[in-house]
Structure 1
Amino acid sequence: MGSQTGLVLGYNGAHPFSKVNISDRASVQELLRTLLDPLEPFFSPLKARVKCPGATAVRFDQTASEVEGICRPLWGLACLLDGGGEYHGIKWWIEGIKSGTNPESPEFWGYPRDNDQRMVEMCPLGYALAVAPEIWQSFNEKEKKNVELWLGNSINEKNMPNTNWLWFRVFANLGLKKNGGRFSQERLDSDIEHLNTFYRGEGWSNDGPVGIHQMDYYSSSFAIHFLQLLYAKLAGEDEPERAAEFKKRARVVALDLVHYYDKEGRALPFGRSVGYRFAMVSFWGALAYAGVELPAPLTWGMVKGIVLRNLRWWQRQPDIWSPSGTLTIGYSYPNMYMAENYNSPGSPYWACLAFICLAVPASHPFWTSEEEYHGDIIPKVKGLKHPGHIMSNLGGHCMLLSSGQACSYPMKGTHAKYGAFAYSSAYAYSVPPGLLTLEQYALASQLGLSDDGGEYWKTRRLSEYAALEHRPSTDSAAGSTPVLVSVWKPFPDVTIRTTLIPPNTETPNWHLRAHRIKNAGARTLKTADGAFAICNARTLDGRYLDLYDAAKSEGTRPRIIGNYDLATPEGALEPQDQEAAKVAQGEGRERAAMLVNADPNSNLVESRTVIPTLQGTIREGETVWYVSAIYAKPSSEGVAKESYLDGWDKIPEIPTWLKEEIST
């Protein structure tokens, strides 16, 4: 391709990324090059900045946004160089680092202030300096001093958020230390000692101090575990005890994290920053890089399979690219609704963490083993105490039931990213494109309550109580089953106790959600209980789904309708569907089934969706129980359309222990 003009992906265009036959180390090297090449036209004249297509603003300045653009791809480039690979464009980054750290250059990056985004980008730069000596060696003495001042002195003197960010300062210092540059060992040690206070046990670290419960991909692949393993590799000879501890944590948590990836290659979206896409599998390459001994029953073939299957899945997502071939903000397609206020056009290149596997020697069993699938040897259902999750690998997808997590600061769609009841590798999660009526709230796997007739909705965000508990199992293969219990208040005078019950081997496509709702207020509440969002496009031509057609094994039932308009002709149920649309609610009352035609671009993986929803009403002073059974069977290779409803008639029984709780 002509790199000076970049790619132009038109109607029939295909990104080179999608054309690589991923099979071995050389093919993954080539995959990375297809990611780096399209950046060339967007380098500034002195190469210090990369202005990726898109004029979206972020909470930090434009220069910092363009520093992201040059530094984040360094994750991939440095891993490539560390593993002995080559890239023709390394000179762009070398010249850019020289210009960016030179205070006399018109493209100087600027010294960071307190809590500055530049601190984040110091991490990939520090790693690159540590593992690719040709970069440091290309600098003259003055240029080395400039890098020392920008990378070391400036960050060591500033305040940083009390989160995973502290690891970024560790790597800024480590990069200088590895090259004999001026750094602060005192700051490096104090940061790691403080980061160790985030550790909660059994391999899990929280993304912050006591009082915060946030264990998403930052606790594993995006930052904490990933950087612990890189540190163990790079500093292990000098600090064997610290390195051994980091490897030990990784060995333990690997048996939990393996539940987040399915047979199709999909990772399970949960929490913030999932726009970093294939970075979700970086933990697994870091295990090999750091020389960790895998815990049984995991094998290197399984680890390799997780990484390569995920990269192949992203190859099948053609809409993640801009027309010029750069990564966009979004997940399976460009999507600003899901973006955080710190996602600039250059932010998605944190995805390059996934290429840590390229720094793993070709002789390592990560590369020499045959790919294997892990799902057949791990528990089908497992409770994770520290993150407050129950993981399920039943029913054709990975599913996560969640309780209790919440972001520690205001975030767009935080209730959807952390507070939903269920997250799926197949159905992902949905975020609200707006804040008026159910179509905009897009309450996938959430219970919403409205006290104004259905305009504004409150859902679970913060829980007063959240715990992994155990109950007698209805599964003949198990003695007890994990359940998640949370207590939350959508309004000050409304208390909800939610119990989430995972699937079992007898009804693998179903899970249960039970809600005890006490409305102590003097107002009537509308309720909307949403299942997973499903693709709203028919196979024939992509138009919205029609009513269910058994001959085609496609469609919806009841009709696709809007917000509380069951009384309209469009919302009227067919006679044969009226009874099926009613679900026992307690005290002889019923909820009605509906399909919320969610606003476009609310779901991460499908741009057009509907959300099966049960709607009800709770009168003032009432206490009611809702028990919902959610059925989900995603499409996948080898699953015929005719089998989608095979488990539909086998509805799970309400467990005896839950009946007893309801009756008391």
Structure 2
Amino acid sequence: MSRQATTGLVIPYDGIHPFAQVALTDRSSVQELLRTLLDPLEPFFSPQKARVRCPGATAVRFDQTASEVEGICRPLWGLACLLAGGGEYRGTQWWIDGIRAGTDPESPEYWGYPRDNDQRMVEMCPLGYALAVAPVIWDSLTQRERENVEAWLGNSINEKNMPNTNWLWFRVFANLGLKKQGGKFSQERLDADIEHLNTFYRGDGWSNDGPEGIHQMDYYSSSFAIHFLQLLYAKLAGEDEPERAAELKKRAQMAALDLAHYYDKEGRSIPFGRSVGYRFAMVSFWGACAYADIDLPAPLTWGMVKGIVMRHLRWWQTQHDMWSPAGTLTVGYSYPNMYMAENYNSPGSPYWACLAFICLAVPETHPFWTSEEEDQWSVLPSTKALKQPGHIMSYLGGHCMLLSSGQACSYPMKGTHAKYGCFAYSSAYAYSVPPGLFTLEQYALASQLGLSDDGGEYWKTRRLSESTLEMRDDNPVLVSLWSPFPDVRVTTYLLPPTEAATNWHLRVHNIVAGREVMTADGSFAISNQRAADGRYLDLWDAEKGEGTQPKLIGNYDLSTPEAWATGAKGAFAVSVKAGAVGIRALEGEETGRTATLVNADPNSNLVESRTTIPTLQHTVKKGESVWYVSGIYAKPPPPPGGDSKVDGKSYLDGWDTLPEIPCWLREEIGLGA
């Protein structure tokens, strides 16, 4: 198959994509927002329209044809939702023609039957949903073409093995799409898959992304797959299966009260876990709640749900660097970034983001659309412990924060310790992934404790852990036990911010070392750019309201005395753009920890391409047992348009108001009163 010429929309030098120019106010404006995503794909359709080869020649774990099937099927999520809600798109026929050619074994652009565990199975899900809700696709096919679709979509997937994860929902929707159109499908396979998926349910509305023994509850449990598809199923199959639909809606009602804590007033969600390159799909759970017309649990309202979705989309409109020069989505988060990519992120992969447009399938008379936008934080508790994912959520200090028990992906994944093992995740300060595996600069240990037994060349962090969510003096505490080396044991306590010290959370470690290890305890990563010219931050300047303490030194002269301070004095970095982050040792001077700024390698952070990480360092001798009490400081800028003025001078207002160490913890550590 020949490549299409890469002509069409080209993003101008100022980087303003049409996506950013839509004033989001109502349903029709969100329809237009979707069209700005679909339009740039036009030049990349193959001659018979069965494949879309998005810009980028990066390889993935599956074949190139499957990658191009992703390219056509993932945007179908958005198109199907648009059509289901009565909207129109000028390129609808491209997808109809593409489905016709892609499922035809005699076509040169045939997609090919899937093998076991084939990526094609994932793309069958949006196709199945599109068949179910957009009759124009099925109605446009001849009898022979419908038989081709039945053979490719139904027979092939029902005969193959699949991963024991959220993927099983994809087979459910392949069968459901055919069922809704009177095509050949397997009710037996559909029922068996749903019954097995029910075994993933853990309670309180939450499903695990896999069977017993796996602890992975991220956006796949909510917006990317499980809850999202449960709600779509409840909507489409509810009349035939009222009891099953009612149970799926009930789970969403319970989960909604937890998931509302993941989105801040500015519209940002907390980046956590894998596949966050799907970007605004993070918010699709809420549109699916409206689509399934669930009864919202008090105190949530449809105005709050609408506010979560609309603010989230508006925030993504401000991320001008996430586009290719041709106007297509890139692999990455706020900018193109292969370091954080999974081995299944092809150039067409990011269009799973189109799940966010399920709200377009919601009738314009629904209160989701007729309500005024509201802020959920006027009614939510500022701190909440979530039993099932093992999180403590906080909205003190100006950002949504997630303290994590330490989940783990069930298979090898690039940067898995950063995606699941960090101690804290923030809507204002995204996590960082390692762009290399040599020295702290490459490991970029934001919100992680690293340990090295070779003098600081290689570092190990928390990945697998045994964790419990406890109540101490009526306050939630996360406790995790983990071993970076067979003879090194770490017990970590995570305590959320308090009303008395809203910009601080506590991170406490007991390290019992069977070998000598260096330690590095990192705060959040923050933008390392001066406001005036974008160069690295200078030493803290109170008049400018910007800089670091101690001095930020380059990667090649770390022995410079000016680069270090005592652990009690700590290290901080202040950016006019991003606020302030820092870390201080609160256990006293006896441990001898020191503070510095790690000049993280570029492109390690998801949102800021240049960052620095205030860090405490120390060496634990063989046979020693030590306690660290780290206070982690974070104060982001106020939301734009509010009463508060952005002023770098105020970012350190809470730096000298140290958090109190609770009495129970002092007693456990052996600190004086």
Deviation, structure 1 residue 506: 1.3
Distance 2:569 2:202 in 1: 49
Superposition map of 1:551-562 within 5 A = 551-561=543-553
Corresponding residue number in structure 2 for 1:513: 507
Distance 2:522 2:554 in 1: 13
Structure 2 vs 1, CA of residues 572 and 661 (structure 1 numbering), >3 Å: closer, same or farther?
A: closer
Corresponding residue number in structure 2 for 1:56: 58
Distance 1:587 1:607 in 2: 35
1:640 aligns with 2:646: yes
For 1:503, give the aligned amino acid.
P
Corresponding residue number in structure 2 for 1:273: 275
Distance 1:218 1:538 in 2: 37
Distance 1:296 1:543 in 2: 48
CA deviation profile, 1:437-496 (whole Å, cap 9, x unmatched): 000000000000000000000000000x20110111xxxxxxx11010000000000000
Corresponding residue number in structure 2 for 1:477: none
Superposition map of 1:194-205 within 5 A = 194-205=196-207
Q: Is the 8 A contact 1:222 1:279 kept in 2?
A: yes
- Give the 3-state SS of the residue equivalent to 2:548 in structure 1: coil
- Give the 3-state SS of the residue equivalent to 2:290 in structure 1: helix
Q: Is the 8 A contact 2:584 2:630 kept in 1?
A: no
Superposition map of 1:489-500 within 5 A = 489-500=483-494
For 1:506, give the aligned amino acid.
A
Superposition map of 1:200-349 within 5 A = 200-349=202-351
Deviation, structure 1 residue 504: 1.0
1:542 aligns with 2:543: no
- Give the 3-state SS of the residue equivalent to 1:588 in structure 2: helix
Deviation, structure 1 residue 653: 1.2
Deviation, structure 1 residue 585: 4.9
For 1:319, give the aligned amino acid.
D
For 2:283, give the aligned amino acid.
V
- Give the 3-state SS of the residue equivalent to 2:96 in structure 1: helix
Superposition map of 1:160-199 within 5 A = 160-199=162-201
- Give the 3-state SS of the residue equivalent to 1:532 in structure 2: coil
Residue in structure 2 matching 1:455, options 432, 457, 460: 457
Distance 2:265 2:123 in 1: 33
Q: Is the 8 A contact 2:116 2:160 kept in 1?
A: yes
- Give the 3-state SS of the residue equivalent to 1:632 in structure 2: strand
For 2:190, give the aligned amino acid.
L
For 1:469, give the aligned amino acid.
E
1:654 aligns with 2:655: no
Distance 1:391 1:133 in 2: 42
Deviation, structure 1 residue 4: 8.9
Corresponding residue number in structure 2 for 1:156: 158
Deviation, structure 1 residue 5: 3.1
Q: Is the 8 A contact 1:415 1:460 kept in 2?
A: yes
Residue in structure 2 matching 1:20, options 9, 19, 22: 22
Residue in structure 1 matching 2:130, options 112, 128, 149: 128
Deviation, structure 1 residue 584: 5.4
Structure 2 vs 1, CA of residues 663 and 358 (structure 1 numbering), >3 Å: closer, same or farther?
A: same
Corresponding residue number in structure 1 for 2:578: none
Corresponding residue number in structure 2 for 1:10: 12
Distance 2:657 2:561 in 1: 32
- Give the 3-state SS of the residue equivalent to 1:593 in structure 2: strand
Q: Is the 8 A contact 1:582 1:591 kept in 2?
A: no
For 1:549, give the aligned amino acid.
D
Q: Is the 8 A contact 2:331 2:346 kept in 1?
A: yes
Deviation, structure 1 residue 52: 0.2
Deviation, structure 1 residue 566: 5.0
Deviates more, 1:18-27 or 1:642-651: 642-651
CA deviation profile, 1:609-646 (whole Å, cap 9, x unmatched): 00000001101100000000001001132343232111
TM-score, normalised with respect to structure 2: 0.95
Deviation, structure 1 residue 10: 3.1
For 1:14, give the aligned amino acid.
I
Q: Is the 8 A contact 2:423 2:494 kept in 1?
A: yes
1:531 aligns with 2:523: yes
Distance 1:587 1:508 in 2: 25
Q: Is the 8 A contact 2:586 2:631 kept in 1?
A: no
| Regions of 4+ moved over 6 Å | 576-582
Q: Is the 8 A contact 1:438 1:563 kept in 2?
A: no
Distance 1:140 1:4 in 2: 32
Q: Is the 8 A contact 1:582 1:592 kept in 2?
A: no
**Stretches of structure 1 lacking an aligned partner (at least 5 in a row):** 473-479
Q: Is the 8 A contact 1:439 1:562 kept in 2?
A: no
CA deviation profile, 1:202-238 (whole Å, cap 9, x unmatched): 1000000000000000000000000000000000000
- Give the 3-state SS of the residue equivalent to 2:549 in structure 1: coil
- Give the 3-state SS of the residue equivalent to 1:169 in structure 2: helix
CA deviation profile, 1:140-198 (whole Å, cap 9, x unmatched): 00000000000000000000000000000000000000000000000000000000000
CA deviation profile, 1:342-363 (whole Å, cap 9, x unmatched): 0000000000000000000000
Distance 1:149 1:244 in 2: 32
Q: Is the 8 A contact 1:558 1:577 kept in 2?
A: no
Distance 2:243 2:487 in 1: 52
1:35 aligns with 2:37: yes
Corresponding residue number in structure 1 for 2:415: 413
> How well do the aligned residues superpose, as a CA RMSD in angstroms?
1.7
Superposition map of 1:470-481 within 5 A = 470-472=471-473, 480-481=474-475
For 2:319, give the aligned amino acid.
Q
